[in-house]
Amino acid sequence: MTDKTIIKPDIENVNILDFDPMPSPEAIHAFLPLSQVATRTVMQGREALRNILERKDKRLFVVVGPCSIHDPVAGLDYARRLKVLADTVSQTLLVVMRVYFEKPRTTTGWKGYINDPDMDDSFHVDQGMKKARRFLLDVAEIGLPAGTEALDPISPQYLGDLIAWTAIGARTSESQTHREMSSGLSTPVGFKNGTNGDVGIAINAILSAARPHSFLGINSQGHTSIVRTRGNRYGHVVLRGGEGRPNYDTVSVQMTEQALLKAGLPPNIVVDCSHANSYKKTELQALVMTDVVNQVRSGNTSLVGVMIESNLVAGNQPIPEDLTQLKYGCSVTDACIDWEGTETMLLAADQQLRNVLSKRKQ
């Protein structure tokens, strides 16, 4: 008898070790559903952000919080404090909590709470996604809208209903995948200039994301689908400096305004007070914000927001083998300004802007 056994050559998935099952977005939504309070927080946050971008609301928005979330207890401690501060400065500032779960890496390093929630290279992504959604629910139920960076193009199907504002990072603003994904997001999207400081990358991303796209993705049941989008008209530039040089100064801001207008886009500009704008020296974030506030006081109308990396404790720390040795409320990624410094920054901005924003030109 002829042996008809088909021997498949090693031609596919050569470097794949395994395919572990992942719960569908629908299953995780059912496990951790939106509450009425959370829904209201997200919807109101998005509407307020759109109104700022459309100049219906003269306030600035502030995306402020830890560089990354790794301890939900400390994260919620921060959120409760931030809610009190947000209410205090609400006349001039719309506060959005920075809730970052995914960290891009140049080479290696901890990739964030979703990818490795146990911080031990066990990579329980399914548990990380549930924990991330639980944290976002808790923040929304406190009454704070949340902002995050969209890195993995599948994650928004799991978490997008809890996000009010989205950032596309300097390394991914030029990515076609992220531009396409942004065209379908339900939030305003801030595109950062390139790591080399090129603002044109962000402007091209805004133009691309504003148009309809069709691309491969997943639906709520977790099935591979052709995703067809209508385009997102709430894209805006985030200036974060580049190649070790800041770009939040008056000249850089005006050049960005002109570039946006030349591209037929609204001159909406957010300044990231961290990264190259502060030379990665966290204590300089306060000086960057002071400069932004002074530009607004001097009549600038294109600056609509700022970003601040902030935590309970200043600085950052390496991840120890014994996780019980982690310092409470201290970043394990980029260094952050401490809580007291955060309060000082926002309260000072509030006082400086109180008699200015009402006269701000639309």
Residues 248-294 pLDDT 10s? 999 999 999 999 999 999 999 999 999 999 999 999 999 999 999 99
Per the model's pLDDT, the better-predicted residue between 2 and 94 turns out to be: 94
Residue 140 has pLDDT above 60, yes or no: yes
Q: How far apart are CA 163 and CA 188, in angstroms?
A: 10
Range 166-171, long-range pairs (CB < 8 A, 24+ positions): 166/190, 167/63, 167/191, 167/192, 167/238, 167/307, 168/192, 168/205, 169/104, 170/194, 170/195, 170/240, 170/242, 170/275, 171/104, 171/195
Per residue in 209-244, pLDDT (tens digit) is 999 999 999 999 999 999 999 999 999 999 999 998
Per residue in 183-210, pLDDT (tens digit) is 999 999 999 999 999 999 999 999 999 9
| Assigned domain for 183 exists | no
**CATH code of 297's domain:** 3.20.20.70
**Closest C-alpha to 303, from 283, 289, 287:** 289
DSSP-derived 3-state class of residue 286: helix
State the residue range of the domain holding 51: 25-170+273-359
User: Would you state the pLDDT for residue 276?
Assistant: 96
| Assigned domain for 214 exists | no
Q: How many CA atoms lie within 13 A of 169 on its CB side?
A: 17
Q: How far apart are CA 10 and CA 35, in angstroms?
A: 49
| Assigned domain for 265 exists | no
Ranges of H-type helices in the chain: 25-31, 36-53, 72-88, 125-142, 155-159, 176-182, 199-209, 250-262, 285-297, 339-353
User: Would you state the pLDDT for residue 362?
Assistant: 64
| Assigned domain for 196 exists | no
Q: How far apart are CA 247 and CA 52, in angstroms?
A: 22
| Assigned domain for 252 exists | no
User: Would you state the pLDDT for residue 104?
Assistant: 77
| Assigned domain for 116 exists | yes
Phi and psi, residue 218, nearest 5°: -125, 155
Question: 149: part of which helix (H) or strand (E)?
Answer: strand 146-149
Phi and psi, residue 347, nearest 5°: -65, -40
* pTM tops 0.85, yes or no: yes
- Decide if 229 contacts 180 (C-beta within 8 A): yes
Residue 107 has pLDDT above 90, yes or no: no
Domain count within the chain:
1
**DSSP-derived secondary structure for 52-109:** HHTTSS--EEEEEE-SS---HHHHHHHHHHHHHHHHHTTTTEEEEEE-------SSSS
User: Would you state the pLDDT for residue 195?
Assistant: 94
| Assigned domain for 97 exists | yes
User: Would you state the pLDDT for residue 106?
Assistant: 63
| Assigned domain for 218 exists | no
Which residue carries 């065209």 as its tokens? 183
